[in-house]
Structure 1
Amino acid sequence: MNVNGKSSPQAGNGRAHGHSSSVERLEPRSPHSRAEDEQYPVELHDDGVEMTLLGHGARRPEVLEEQEEKDKMSKPLSTKDKKAMVLLIILYLIQGVPLGLALGSVPFLLREHLTYKQLSWISLSSYPYSLKLLWSPIVDSMFDFRVGRRKSWIIPMQIIIGTMMFWISNNAAMVMENPDGHVLELTVTWTSLVFFAATQDIAVDGWALTLLSDDAKAYASTAQTVGLNCGYFASYTVFLAFNSESFAAKYGIPRLTLSAYLKFWCVVCYSVTVWLIFFKKEEPVSPDDPDMRLKSVYKSMWKLCKLEHFRRLFLVHLFAKITWQAHDSITSLKLVEKGLPKEDLAAAVLVDFPFQLIAGWLAGRWSRGNKPLRPWLYAYWARAGFVIVAMIIVATFPGAPLGWSWFIMFVSVLVLNGFAGTIQFVGVSAFHTRISDPTIGGTYMTMLNTASNLGGTWPGPFVFLLVDAFTDSKCRTSTGSVLTQVSECVSEVGKHQCKNLSGHCDIVRDGYYTVSCICLVLGVTVWLLFVRPTALKLQALPFSKWRINQPRDGLPS
């Protein structure tokens, strides 16, 4: 089960939780004529797409380009590229910290005090990361030439992020102790923090195009995967472990408070920013470049949206993650609600953390070649299966104290589900890397990543609302009569009211199972009828079809 909540970084979402944004600059391919396409037809098969090479022993240009790309990947990284990789990992790490807090730790900590309906408001904080294409052209085209195209945005964004963390650290205790009266304040605060992290992400994505050499651009997705996942896990799984009073007491260590954690990352943000200002120079760009003009970038975005296959890819991303939305958002909260000790959950996710780093590296290797979506397609069924497994685990939860056999089974499921999620995340990132048009740099990548991230975030608030709507819980006395004085028996507040009246909450129908089944059935249906067949066709398209100046576009028949 995916208790880390990423859709992709959870998570996913993403990415996710969480959230995929790897980049690779590919040289533009020349357009092919209709006669060439007819001479070299494309055949679709169940396990992927294979090219049929016809003619007088000649190889299709796209096949030769694929071989050139593989040769580049096999070359060792230069010292310059290694340093660039380290810098990219650190910058993506800073992004992952506020994402892990806003999308993971904060909802987890507030579950004891708020209903799922109230949590749905706080889950809106994930939206800026999914809508950043709206302001990505501004980040791409407006900057100070003296500072640098990307540093002009990265430096102020990190200063703001660090300052906000410092401000939250001084006000966290008061708000977290009484969140019921500060839902709007919490929503605005964490949404703003994610907004600035998303803006920094746009600039970092674009900088990766020039930081890494042509031979090393394929490793940009690895830097993004490692950095973002480390930041997300540190702020969600690792923080929750050391924030737990039981965990701290069990292992004899001081409890890590939210205030202290935020102040630590505030110092990190400021330190990295100072280093960027004084010690890291950015390659200059020509002020006469037409792609630097804001109007030109928006026109390029419009041309991109007019490509039929790009619109289909957007729809694929929009519906591909419906299957496990309830699982990612609710499962871990349900287990804690049923009695899973927080220290046991924290220990489980700490075990899961190194496995996800290994998964990211392996998935990067599996996603190379001309079928980067193959791991993404295969891992879908594993994630769909773990939705069923999660419901069974929640339904059969034995209660505390837990035996070692159940805990080992729980950790195994957690690791395997996270492994499948990471494979999907890296696979789709590799596909984005291959098809991106370098003529509009970060904007192209941002649009692709926005589509992917949005698919993992837009259902979230609705899932929280539906779980409360489908849950039927009554406050009953020991004799079985219903206490009408308690309006609801879903939130911790309602449960305490019921307990004060010498009653207990009796769940007649748990909305978690209903919503999980709805997501599973709807997601699998859409996957079989639309997502999978469309993804196979999109993967078969030559690179030239994804260029905004391509005169003819369409899907292979």
Structure 2
Amino acid sequence: MNSQQNRTSREPRRRQRKPDHSADTEEEDMPPRAMSTSLDSIQIHPRTPKTPRSQSRHAWSSEEGAADEVEMSLLQGDERREFADGLSVEEEQDYLSQPLKRPLSARDKRAIALLIILYLIQGFPLGLAMGSIPFILRDHLSYSELGTFSIAGWPYSLKLFWSPIVDSVFLPSLGRRKSWIIPMQLIIGTIMLGIAYNAEELMSNPGEHLYLLTMAFTSLVVFSATQDIAVDGWALTLLSEESLSYASTCQTIGLSTGSLLSHTVFLALNSEAFAQKWGIPRLTLSTYLKFCASFSFLVTIWLLFVKEDKELSGEDVSIKSVYTTMWTICKLRHIQILLLVHFFAKIGFQANDAVTQLKMVEKGLGKEDLAVAVLIDFPFQIFGGWLAGRLSRGPKPLNAWIYAYWPRLGLALVATLLVYWFPRPPISTAFFLLLIVQNVTQNFAGTIQFGGISAFHTRISDPVVGGTYMTLLNTFANMGGTWPKYFVLKGVDLFSVATCQIGDDLSVKATECVSEHGKAACTNLGGTCVTEQDGYYVVSAICLVLGFLSVVFYMIPTARKLQAMPISKWRVYG
């Protein structure tokens, strides 16, 4: 009853609003508003990936298009208006003008399958560079040296600087996005083959080849990041407007699957203990890299037969203009605020994300046990990606990101306590189950956050410069989890105090004791490494305190304000 009265009371005001072209208002810099008819229910939608700029400023040109629009806008109108109660006027108009949710079309299903496969290829090198390779190197390198190798992941967070080139330069005969995706995947496969044929030499003594390893995996990440720019932009036109929120689901499923194979599955199959236990051959790094390279080559051949729709014909722009557009985007006040949120949003989780699993393996958790824990977690990540896509549809996609913040921060604290109370091997079944529950719930919250923020990016991005706009936002989102990792790993060594105790009288301070290689060197001298202070707990405490304060006083309040802004204010072009 009350909602009906509220709707009735708002109707006169809605009908009275007329466009005023003569008023000199603060909205002079805003993009042109869409035209409206005398029927309140009929809305002319803002330009979408399927609607060129020229169409966004005029009514539909055919009676058939107008009839479809009337039918879609009037269907279930009361329910839509009831849901819109309580929103601001501009936010309500944005929501009411959106198409109703409909079942996925066959075209959307094919697009989703293609996007998942393309994101899967990105997950292969990223899972190696940011997952399994640091675990393998941990037996030979200190945390500071691992910090050096972690730089290999930085290009994925710095792709913004060359994304305008990817958005602007292409071969019309091949397609705007395929012009980049195809060569990048060929190069990724070739580099993987090169590393595969030299893997044994590089990994046998990684201390001597640290910079070569870092350079090789940095190159892999650079080309994967370039492929990601093109795929992000292609997603905006492959999917229909009402299914755009599933772009984040495709990314979550594809990247999670690729990373799982390269990190967890590879670590398990690479373990000699796992191979002996199950009576299977041990999977070497060389063999796995050859598999990844072959998969990348096969998908690339398949892409040659996939037709790419011509997007935004007549809207091609130069590299300079795209960089100018990127600068125009960055000058928007609300964009600057969003980028700042991204840059510091993951501080609270960094010690947990970068070091916790390494510490558990150091304390006796077998790599094969870790693999089992993450394998159990994988279905929950897939479900989390799907759920995030569902929760992020509608006018408030950031709610999923906001609601998952607290459990993720709390579970980071739980992980630190689990490391502190980690028992001596063998690990009991009860404690192992506790590790699994903690890992599953923590990653589930992270997946929900990732899906929510990705859906928000997709919703606000201007399709004319879709690759650049999406990459600008994703760059800072990724950078928020990349730049602190180097300092966290360095900080673990910095705050650690360890000595090599030789006999009863001689005790030598040895920072090398923080690595397995250093402990072995101390043992060769007849001594034992004694850790008097583990820097992990100091770094973890610093991250958790900073994360708590930022969440309470900045992150969540700012996210709510940004989400309440109408879509039109995020557009660069009208």
Q: Indicate yes or no: 2:153 matched with 1:129.
A: no
What does residue range 147-186 of structure 1 map to in structure 2 within 5 Å? 147-186=174-213
Q: Indicate yes or no: 2:110 matched with 1:86.
A: no
Distance in 2, Cα, partners of 1:537 & 1:235: 38
Contact 1:26 1:437 (C-alpha < 8 Å) held by counterparts:
no
- Go from structure 1 to structure 2 and tell me whether the alpha carbon gap of 1:222 and 1:286 turns closer, same or farther (over 3 Å shift): closer
- For residues 181-223 of structure 1, the C-alpha deviation after alignment (integer angstroms, 9 at most, x for no partner) is 0111011111110000000001111111222223332322211
Residue 539 (structure 2) aligns with: 515
The AA in structure 2 aligned to 1:414 is N
Q: Indicate yes or no: 2:372 matched with 1:347.
A: yes
Distance in 2, Cα, partners of 1:214 & 1:410: 41
Distance in 2, Cα, partners of 1:545 & 1:473: 55
Residue 10 (structure 2) aligns with: none
Residue 63 (structure 1) aligns with: 92
**What TM-score does the superposition give when structure 1 sets the normalisation length?**
0.86
Residue 249 (structure 1) aligns with: 276
Structure 1 residue 502: deviation in Å? Answer: 2.0
- Look up the SS of the partner of 1:241 in the other structure: helix
Gaps of 5+ in 1: 1-23, 31-49, 55-59, 551-557
Residue 301 (structure 1) aligns with: 326
Name whichever of 246-255 and 263-272 sits farther off: 246-255
Distance in 2, Cα, partners of 1:294 & 1:541: 30
Distance in 2, Cα, partners of 1:226 & 1:410: 23
Q: Indicate yes or no: 2:292 matched with 1:265.
A: yes
- Look up the SS of the partner of 1:305 in the other structure: helix
- Go from structure 1 to structure 2 and tell me whether the alpha carbon gap of 1:409 and 1:487 turns closer, same or farther (over 3 Å shift): closer
What does residue range 10-89 of structure 1 map to in structure 2 within 5 Å? 25=49, 52=86, 60=89, 62-69=91-98, 71=100, 74-89=101-116
Structure 1 residue 317: deviation in Å? Answer: 0.3
Structure 1 residue 287: deviation in Å? Answer: 7.0
What does residue range 388-537 of structure 1 map to in structure 2 within 5 Å? 388-479=413-504, 481-483=506-508, 488-537=512-561
- Look up the SS of the partner of 1:507 in the other structure: strand
- Go from structure 1 to structure 2 and tell me whether the alpha carbon gap of 1:347 and 1:286 turns closer, same or farther (over 3 Å shift): closer
Distance in 2, Cα, partners of 1:205 & 1:491: 39
Q: Alignment identity in percent? A: 56
- For residues 250-296 of structure 1, the C-alpha deviation after alignment (integer angstroms, 9 at most, x for no partner) is 1222211111111011111111111112x11222357742x432122
- Go from structure 1 to structure 2 and tell me whether the alpha carbon gap of 1:179 and 1:390 turns closer, same or farther (over 3 Å shift): same
- Go from structure 1 to structure 2 and tell me whether the alpha carbon gap of 1:167 and 1:64 turns closer, same or farther (over 3 Å shift): same
Structure 1 residue 64: deviation in Å? Answer: 4.3
Contact 1:340 1:399 (C-alpha < 8 Å) held by counterparts:
no
Contact 1:26 1:436 (C-alpha < 8 Å) held by counterparts:
no
Structure 1 residue 477: deviation in Å? Answer: 3.3
Residue 187 (structure 1) aligns with: 214
The AA in structure 2 aligned to 1:541 is M
Contact 1:339 1:399 (C-alpha < 8 Å) held by counterparts:
yes
Residue among 333, 345, 367 paired with 2:392: 367
Structure 1 residue 52: deviation in Å? Answer: 4.3
- Go from structure 1 to structure 2 and tell me whether the alpha carbon gap of 1:68 and 1:238 turns closer, same or farther (over 3 Å shift): farther
Distance in 2, Cα, partners of 1:299 & 1:395: 51
Name whichever of 304-313 and 359-368 sits farther off: 359-368
- For residues 103-134 of structure 1, the C-alpha deviation after alignment (integer angstroms, 9 at most, x for no partner) is 00111110010011111111011111111110
- Go from structure 1 to structure 2 and tell me whether the alpha carbon gap of 1:287 and 1:368 turns closer, same or farther (over 3 Å shift): closer
- Look up the SS of the partner of 1:530 in the other structure: helix
Structure 1 residue 67: deviation in Å? Answer: 4.2
- Go from structure 1 to structure 2 and tell me whether the alpha carbon gap of 1:385 and 1:286 turns closer, same or farther (over 3 Å shift): closer
Distance in 2, Cα, partners of 1:150 & 1:196: 14
- For residues 457-489 of structure 1, the C-alpha deviation after alignment (integer angstroms, 9 at most, x for no partner) is 0101111111000000111135364046x5632
Residue 307 (structure 2) aligns with: 281
Contact 1:70 1:369 (C-alpha < 8 Å) held by counterparts:
no
Residue 5 (structure 1) aligns with: none
Gaps of 5+ in 2: 1-47, 58-83
The AA in structure 2 aligned to 1:517 is A
The AA in structure 2 aligned to 1:282 is E
- Go from structure 1 to structure 2 and tell me whether the alpha carbon gap of 1:487 and 1:421 turns closer, same or farther (over 3 Å shift): closer
Residue 250 (structure 2) aligns with: 223
- For residues 329-388 of structure 1, the C-alpha deviation after alignment (integer angstroms, 9 at most, x for no partner) is 000111111111222112111111111111111122122222211121121111111121
Distance in 1, Cα, partners of 2:344 & 2:220: 27
> Which structure is richer in relative contact order (CA contacts within 8 A, separation 6 or more)?
1
Distance in 1, Cα, partners of 2:511 & 2:560: 51
Structure 1 residue 229: deviation in Å? Answer: 1.1
Contact 1:380 1:420 (C-alpha < 8 Å) held by counterparts:
yes
Q: Cα RMSD (Å) of the superposition?
A: 2.0
